[in-house]
């Protein structure tokens, strides 16, 4: 670690891709064309559950301008199933359609109008079947089974022990226990319990899923994909088409948002299949309504029971959680176990019993969404904490502080100890919201905390190249989806190599060029990919110093790097000059490599979290009691990030996280009736608008350089979203005495609860 | 049919279908990719362009309506390499994340400032009510628009 | 669907030409102004007209003209209404409401005629215009007729317009100057859950400090969004007639309860029936309160979350 003050890390520098985005030059998948490219359209099941008896594409196939029209039955030349947990999802429905919107047939044509016209020429015979649309329906005895066979497992280490319940819609179960909760609860002075529901919500990235697939004459495949993990897509396609990994290339331009919706293969297998059938490149772009039919957050029903001693010590937590993962597992099983793992939140609790299930239903598949199972449980636990505080006549901030895990304390045996100071986040959030100041009579304040593990074990690799002119390339496969990772990686490399930021280029993720990175999700890119970049840059630095030291007959400790110059006691050499010395000419480069691969550990989830994400949210709300409309007037988020590599982009991320959290807290819910999604368009699915943002919104950071990431950094981006719903509900309860347990807190729901409230004493 | 449009200050003669949408003519015909297709139903604003200075949803606007008019896209905001104050403000304020809404936000703000050079925060919120962003939470976007208005005075 | 199916565009310059086209083309043709509703329906495949008859070049269709009544041509955009000095001087609330239709892009392109002819039950203008003795002018090859707005709008997306008729203009009878009014809409979605227009004509309002004879001589309340079409709440209006402007709070309560009892909403995405009914009561009361304050010369600053006040 350098003793010198940091030059560019920690600075609120403008993001490196800002200019191309404000000038309209940034390229997303649907901005790309390749010569001979065809346009794809997808025919989707109108039924939530139906046998697909016959799909006749013959009329579509012969429409002039159509290059290919395919159905599930045509997929005999590849393995048509994919999925990271279970390979249960067919590229096109085979024998059965399992959710409304499932792709049943697809067309590639000369233009979109022809493709649309071709879809109308496809005849499908469906035999509707009874669907299981909700957790209740899916878990009832004799429920329609979404899947009748046992699909093979997918490709992730932590899910190698999938535990389905055969003969039911339960595709995974997770259990975690310590101590004796039954005894602890019966001995507890205060026990509170309740059931909380979290709705199905949609990511609504403004750019829906899109992919451009092209096979080449050697049988290799190239895709430009709006994906958060090109390497996961690559491995899926390699398995499906039996092509070596080295022959599949996934390139990722800018993403117009992700939030988890673009993790793991979504439309890439279909695009690649169509491209093969069409014999030409195919671009497949989903619409927003189609995004609603591709992936969503896993809805949940959670029962939590917590026991406290009279002195406020938390003694036991029991949690039974059911997550609705939709028609295909996607990464649902990991969402379930990851989320449940921290069901106890950021608290010390000796007796724990956690049980959760991933349940199939005949709805859009549930997958990853910012928070990854934790919002659903924090909604329950943090609400109950306030209920308990009320019963104990304790201040909710105080009760949390009393039970927080301490810095360095164990969360679970084998896992990383707590690497932050929850107390500090809590103190700053409470101070900022004015917790101890008397508030206006028409306002209520609420607080909530969160803790989340990052996915483990994972692997990130990076390459840094110092070119002959002293400029630098960073090759890493962390995907830029707006969160600013390209900028952060550039800052890290610039810092280590002591060059100005504008001398660093971060190459777009491209599996043929940028090395393996497992995923851009789980708040991990700064800590993990960033660390790999840091190591790679340090590798280059060491080589550079060694070159000059050797030439000058000095030790490397006699040298320093400063602003693109190697500084020796009596000489200064630019990097270009140093490289020229090394290679005897103007040419050549230094290449550094960084690998982060902590590997499996004894931690309960199979790997130790690289960092703990921890944050506190505090809300001040008002309510129009006559209509039930809740307004979040002020909100404070404090996240313990170790080191803010770029405070400006980080603040923007957390502001966005808070407002996105306000979405599922107050406005958003995918509504179904009679097997149909009622609000799959932005006309009737309501995301936050500019005037929904709190008038006062503060996002702050605790920086104690206590993370294992570069310069002491940890992760961020999910911590701001997770506390929002319980903080708002707690504020509402403190203001009105009304406790709601189902999200979103729409005006009507709040109004109904207010009417049902017993008269206040 | 043929239409004559001034696109980003340049006179163009375009051969279009009667049923062509302005968004496709700009993106595919003129390679101006800045305006994006998102909700495709006039709700989100990602496809916003200015026709004779007025913001329209190019996704649901016939290209032929631009005949005899001027169209401004995000590519026409800067003056050569010299950024428009709004673009500068968005960069400085950190108001850009994924960038998909950015073109629409910039053009809508520009239309607003042409009508109202001294907007209040409420004015900005009124104008941007129909422009969605899922990344930023809007705060830095509103701050940037107000900063640009301030700097322009 | 992202692209449109091909169609032929006709651009008549007179109403006669337009009517002849509609008569000749029948069901294959659709009138086209801003296209904010029509083009969307065409993209969704719900309408597939092979002919579009553009009304924007027809003489007079883009005009707002004065007279005993205010006449707004069918092709006048919401923005033009918002910006019109004439509208501001004759009936400023119309301009204020136009300012809040949908979003700025729809306002720049969408038209008054298109809005009324589309007959969305959530239409702001249809609700407001019911309080302005509004009538629409329909023209066809068979002649010209005027229909009160309440007869023109029959139900959700259903009007009395025959397929060969063109909506040429809408006439409004501006309120007398001693009328104060308010329009409030409430809801979380793009289309509001309910809308209320309230206008109170007060006699003796010019007395300034002196006369205490300020009575409501004419109350008009229209409620939109909660039923198949916007309606006047006649029974509620009766509760306000002859009430003193200083007693309006109490009368407003009674009027709002009556208004709520007179609607029969359905459960849908915009709310359950009982919630909507209660919100009618709440917002009729609030709209009346604001109108009454305006009648006394005050401009109430109160605003409500998820509500727009014009």
Element (H, E) at A265: none
In angstroms, the Cα distances linking A40 to A106, A226, B34, B46 are 7, 16, 22, 22
Average pLDDT over residues B63-68: 98
Confidence at residue A1, expressed as pLDDT on a 0 to 100 scale: 44
- Chains with ≥3 CB–CB distances under 8 Å to A: B, C
pLDDT at position A3 is 56
Q: Enumerate the CATH 3.10.20.30 domain ranges in chain B, comma separated.
A: 2-76
Closest residue in C to A748 (Cα) is C275
Check CB contact under 8 Å for C269 and A667: no
pLDDT at A376 exceeding the cut of 90: yes
Q: Which residues contact A465 (CB under 8 A, 6 or more apart)?
A: A472, A473, A475, A540, A589, A590, A591, A592
The answer to whether the Cβ–Cβ distance between C104 and B55 falls below 8 Å is: yes
- Asked whether residue C195 falls in the same domain as residue C154, the answer is no
Same-domain pairing of C38 and C121: no
Q: Is the pLDDT of residue A481 over 90?
A: yes
Burial annotation A64-97 (CB, 10 A radius, 16+ → b, else e): eebbbbbbbbbbeebbbbbbbbbbbbbbbbbebb
Over residues B79-108, the pLDDT tens digits come to 988 999 999 999 999 999 999 999 999 999
Buried b (16+ CB within 10 A) or exposed e, B53-76: ebbbbbbbbbbbbbeebbbbbbbb
Residues from chain A that touch C1, judged by Cβ atoms under 8 A, are: 116
Enter the tokens of residue C265: 């909403």
Q: How confident is the model at residue A761 (pLDDT cuts 50, 70, 90)?
A: low
Q: Is residue C306 part of a domain?
A: no
Q: Which residues does chain B have within 8 Å of residue A21's beta carbon, measured at their own beta carbons?
A: 96, 99, 102
- Determine the pLDDT at residue A489: 98
pLDDT of residue C210: 47
Interchain contact, A206 vs B40, CB within 8 Å? no
Number of domains present in the structure of chain C: 3
Q: Do domains A18-26+458-596 and A296-456+603-756 have the same CATH topology?
A: yes
Give domain limits for chain A. Answer: 18-26+458-596, 32-129+204-292, 296-456+603-756
Cβ distance of A678 and C279 shorter than 8 Å: no
Chain A nearest CA to C187, separation (Å): 9
Mean pLDDT, all residues of chain A:
96
Query: What does the pLDDT read at residue C208?
Result: 53
Q: Is residue C228 assigned to a domain?
A: yes
pLDDT band at residue A152 using 50, 70 and 90 as cut-offs: confident
A607 C-beta neighbours (distance < 10 Å), count: 23
**Domain covering A32-129+204-292, topology:** Aldehyde Oxidoreductase; domain 3 (3.90.1170)
* Interface contact flag, A748 C190, Cβ < 8 Å: no
User: In angstroms, how far is CA A697 from the centroid of its own chain?
Assistant: 23
Percent of chain A with pLDDT over 90: 96
What CATH number has the domain spanning B2-76? 3.10.20.30
Model pLDDT for residues A325-371, shown as the tens digit of each residue: 999 999 999 999 999 999 999 999 999 999 999 999 999 999 999 99
What ipTM was reported for this prediction?
0.98
- Residues C156, C106, single domain; the answer is yes
Pinpoint the residues of chain B covered by CATH 1.10.150.120: 85-152
| Same domain? C111 vs C164 | yes
Q: Residue C213: what pLDDT?
A: 57
Give pLDDT, residue A275: 98
- The residues near B13 (Cβ < 8 Å, ≥ 6 apart) are B2, B3, B4
Q: Are A346 and A402 in contact (CB under 8 A)?
A: no
What is the structure's pLDDT at C7? 98
Whether residues C165 and C193 fall in one domain: no
Q: Residue C109 burial by CB count (10 A; 0-12/13-18/19+): exposed, middle or buried? A: buried
- Mark which of C125, C157, C172 sits at the end of a domain: C172
Write out pLDDT tens, residues A203-239.
999 999 999 999 999 999 999 999 999 999 999 999 9
Inspect the interface and report whether the beta carbons of C278 and A631 lie closer than 8 Å: no
Chain A, window 585-644: residues with a beta carbon less than 8 angstroms from a chain B beta carbon = none
Give the pLDDT of residue B112: 98
Among B1, B29, B57, pick the best mutation site for testing chain C contact (most C Cβ within 10 A).
B57
Fold of A18-26+458-596: Aldehyde Oxidoreductase; domain 4 (3.30.365)
Contacts of A22 in chain B (CB under 8 A): 74, 77, 83, 87, 90-91, 96, 99, 102, 106
User: Does pLDDT of A86 surpass 80?
Assistant: yes
Segment-wise mean pLDDT, segments of 10 residues, chain C, 310 residues = 92 96 95 97 94 97 96 98 98 98 98 97 97 98 96 96 96 95 97 97 65 80 97 96 89 96 95 98 97 93 95
The answer to whether residues C38 and C92 belong to one domain is no
In CATH, what number is assigned to the domain containing residue C20?
3.30.43.10
- What is the interface size between A and B, counted as CB pairs within 8 Å? 157
Predicted confidence at residue A159, as pLDDT, reads 66
Band of the pLDDT at A579, cuts 50, 70, 90?
very high
Q: Taking Cα atoms as reference points, which of C289, C148, C175 lies closest to residue C231? A: C148
Percent pLDDT > 70 in chain A is 99
d(CA A82, CA A65): 30
3-state secondary structure of C206: helix
pLDDT in tens, C147-170: 999 999 999 999 999 999 999 999
Burial (CB count <10 Å: 0-12, 13-18, 19+), residue B90: buried
Res A111: pLDDT = 96
Q: Which of C155, C172, C189 is the last residue of a domain?
A: C172
How far is the alpha carbon of C286 from chain A, nearest alpha carbon, in Å? 11
- Are residue C29 and residue C93 in the same domain, yes or no? no
CATH of domain A296-456+603-756: 3.30.365.10
pLDDT of residue A329: 95
Instruction: Look up the CATH number of domain B85-152.
Output: 1.10.150.120
The answer to whether residues C285 and C255 belong to one domain is: yes
Task: Tell whether the model's pLDDT for residue A759 goes beyond 90.
Answer: no
């Amino acid at each position: 670690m350098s003793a010198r003050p940091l030059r560019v890390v920690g600075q609120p520098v403008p993001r490196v891709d800002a200019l191309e985005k404000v000038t309209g030059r940034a390229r997303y998948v649907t901005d790309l064309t390749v010569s001979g490219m065809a346009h794809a359209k997808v025919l989707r099941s109108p039924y939530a559950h139906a046998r697909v008896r016959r799909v006749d594409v013959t009329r579509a196939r012969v429409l002039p301008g159509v290059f290919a029209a395919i159905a599930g039955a045509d997929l005999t030349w590849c393995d048509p199933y994919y999925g990271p947990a279970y390979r249960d999802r067919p590229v096109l429905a085979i024998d059965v359609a399992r959710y409304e919107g499932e792709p049943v047939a697809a067309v590639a044509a000369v233009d979109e109008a022809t493709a649309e016209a071709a879809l109308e020429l496809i005849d499908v015979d469906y035999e509707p079947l009874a669907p299981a649309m909700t957790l209740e329906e899916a878990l009832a005895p004799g429920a329609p089974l979404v899947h009748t066979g046992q699909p093979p497992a997918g490709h992730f280490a932590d899910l190698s022990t999938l535990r389905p319940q055969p003969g039911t819609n339960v595709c995974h179960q997770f259990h975690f226990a310590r101590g004796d909760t039954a005894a602890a609860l019966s001995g507890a002075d205060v026990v509170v319990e309740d059931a909380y529901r979290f709705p199905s919500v949609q990511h609504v990235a403004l750019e829906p899923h899109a992919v451009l697939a092209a096979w080449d004459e050697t049988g290799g495949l190239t895709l430009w994909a709006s994906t958060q993990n090109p390497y996961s897509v690559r491995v899926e396609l390699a398995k499906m088409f039996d092509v070596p990994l080295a022959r599949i290339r996934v390139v990722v331009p800018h993403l117009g948002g992700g939030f988890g919706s673009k993790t793991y293969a979504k439309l890439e297998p279909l695009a690649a299949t169509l491209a093969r059938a069409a014999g030409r490149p195919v671009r497949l772009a989903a619409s927003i309504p189609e995004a609603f039919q591709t992936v969503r957050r896993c809805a949940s029903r959670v029962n939590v029971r917590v026991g406290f001693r009279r002195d406020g010590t938390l003694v036991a937590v029991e949690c039974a959680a059911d997550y609705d993962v939709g028609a295909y597992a996607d990464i649902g099983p990991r969402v379930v176990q990851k989320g449940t793992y921290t069901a106890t939140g950021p608290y010390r609790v000796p007796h724990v019993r956690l049980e959760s299930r991933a349940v199939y239903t005949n709805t859009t598949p549930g997958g990853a969404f910012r928070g990854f199972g934790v919002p659903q449980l924090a909604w329950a636990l943090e609400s109950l904490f306030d209920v308990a505080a009320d019963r104990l006549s304790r201040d909710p901030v105080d009760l949390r502080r009393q039970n927080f895990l301490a810095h360095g304390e164990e969360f679970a045996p084998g896992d990383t100890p707590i690497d932050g100071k929850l107390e500090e986040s809590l103190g700053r959030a409470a101070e900022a919201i004015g917790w101890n100041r008397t508030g206006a009579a028409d306002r209520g304040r609420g607080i909530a905390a969160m803790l989340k593990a990052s996915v483990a074990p994972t692997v990130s690799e990076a390459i840094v190249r110092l070119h002959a002119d002293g400029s630098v390339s960073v090759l890493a496969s962390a995907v830029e989806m707006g969160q600013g990772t390209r900028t952060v990686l550039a800052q890290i490399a610039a810092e280590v190599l002591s060059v100005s930021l504008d001398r660093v280029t971060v190459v777009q993720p491209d599996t043929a060029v940028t090395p393996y990175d497992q995923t851009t999700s789980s708040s991990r890119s700064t800590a993990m990919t960033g660390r790999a970049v840091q190591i790679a840059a340090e590798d280059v630095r060491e080589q550079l110093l060694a070159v000059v030291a050797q030439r000058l007959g000095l030790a490397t400790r006699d040298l320093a790097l400063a602003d693109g110059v190697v500084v020796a006691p009596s000489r200064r050499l630019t990097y270009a000059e140093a490289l020229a010395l090394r290679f005897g000419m103007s040419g050549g480069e230094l290449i550094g490599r960084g690998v982060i691969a902590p590997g499996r550990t004894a931690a309960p989830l199979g790997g130790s979290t690289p960092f703990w994400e921890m944050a506190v949210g505090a809300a001040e709300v008002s309510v129009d009691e006559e209509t039930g409309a809740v307004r979040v007037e002020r909100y404070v988020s404090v996240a313990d990030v170790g080191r803010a590599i770029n405070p400006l982009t980080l603040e923007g991320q957390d502001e966005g996280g808070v407002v996105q959290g306000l979405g599922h807290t107050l406005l958003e819910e995918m509504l179904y009736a009679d097997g149909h999604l009622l609000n799959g368009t932005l006309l009737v699915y309501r995301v936050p608008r500019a005037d929904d943002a709190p008038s006062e919104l503060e996002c702050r950071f605790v920086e104690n350089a206590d993370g294992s990431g570069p310069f002491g950094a940890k992760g961020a981006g999910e911590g701001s979203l997770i506390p929002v719903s319980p903080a708002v509900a707690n504020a509402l309860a403190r203001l009105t005495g009304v406790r709601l347990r189902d999200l979103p807190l729409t005006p009507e729901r709040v109004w109904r609860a207010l009417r049902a409230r017993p008269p206040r004493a | 049919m043929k239409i004559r449009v001034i696109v980003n200050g340049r006179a163009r003669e375009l051969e279009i279908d009667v049923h062509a949408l302005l968004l496709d003519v700009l993106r595919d015909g003129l390679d101006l990719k800045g305006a994006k297709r998102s909700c495709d139903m006039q709700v989100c604003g990602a496809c916003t362009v200015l026709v004779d200075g007025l913001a329209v949803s190019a996704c649901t606007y016939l290209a032929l309506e631009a005949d005899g008019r001027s169209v401004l896209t995000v590519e026409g905001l800067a003056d050569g390499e010299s950024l428009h104050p709004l673009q500068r403000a968005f960069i400085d304020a950190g108001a850009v994340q994924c960038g998909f809404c950015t073109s629409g936000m910039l053009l809508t703000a520009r239309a607003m400032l042409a009508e109202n050079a001294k907007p209040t925060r409420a004015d900005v919120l009124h104008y941007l009510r129909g422009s969605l962003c899922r990344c930023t939470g809007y705060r830095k976007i509103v701050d940037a628009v107000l900063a640009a208005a301030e700097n322009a005075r | 669907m992202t692209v449109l199916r091909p169609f032929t565009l006709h651009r008549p310059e007179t109403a006669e030409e337009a009517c002849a086209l509609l008569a000749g083309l029948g069901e294959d043709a659709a009138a086209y102004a801003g296209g904010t509703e029509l083009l969307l329906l065409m993209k969704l495949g719900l309408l597939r007209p092979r002919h579009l008859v553009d009304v924007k070049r027809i003489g007079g269709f883009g005009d707002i003209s004065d007279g005993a009544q205010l006449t707004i041509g069918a092709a006048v955009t919401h923005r033009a209404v918002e910006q019109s000095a004439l509208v501001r001087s004759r009936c400023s609330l119309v301009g204020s409401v136009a300012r809040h239709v949908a979003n700025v892009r729809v306002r720049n392109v969408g038209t008054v005629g298109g809005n009324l002819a589309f007959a969305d039950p959530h239409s702001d203008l249809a609700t407001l215009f019911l309080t302005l003795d509004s009538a629409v002018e329909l023209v066809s090859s068979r002649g010209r007729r005027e229909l009160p707005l309440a007869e023109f709008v029959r139900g959700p997306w259903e009007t009395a317009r025959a397929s060969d008729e063109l909506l040429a203009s809408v006439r409004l009878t501006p309120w007398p100057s001693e009328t104060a009014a308010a329009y409030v809409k409430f809801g979380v979605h793009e289309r509001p859950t309910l809308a209320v227009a309230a206008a109170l004509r007060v006699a003796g309002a010019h007395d300034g400090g002196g006369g205490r004879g300020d009575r409501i001589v004419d109350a008009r309340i229209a409620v939109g969004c909660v039923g198949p079409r916007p309606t006047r709440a006649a029974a509620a209006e009766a509760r306000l007639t002859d009430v003193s402007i200083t007693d309006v709070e109490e009368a407003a309560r009674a009027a709002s309860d009556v208004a709520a009892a007179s609607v029969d909403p359905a459960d849908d995405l915009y709310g359950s029936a009982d919630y909507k009914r209660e919100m009618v009561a709440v917002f009729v009361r609030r709209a009346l309160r604001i109108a009454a304050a305006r009648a006394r010369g005050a401009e109430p600053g109160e605003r409500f979350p998820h509500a727009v006040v014009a």
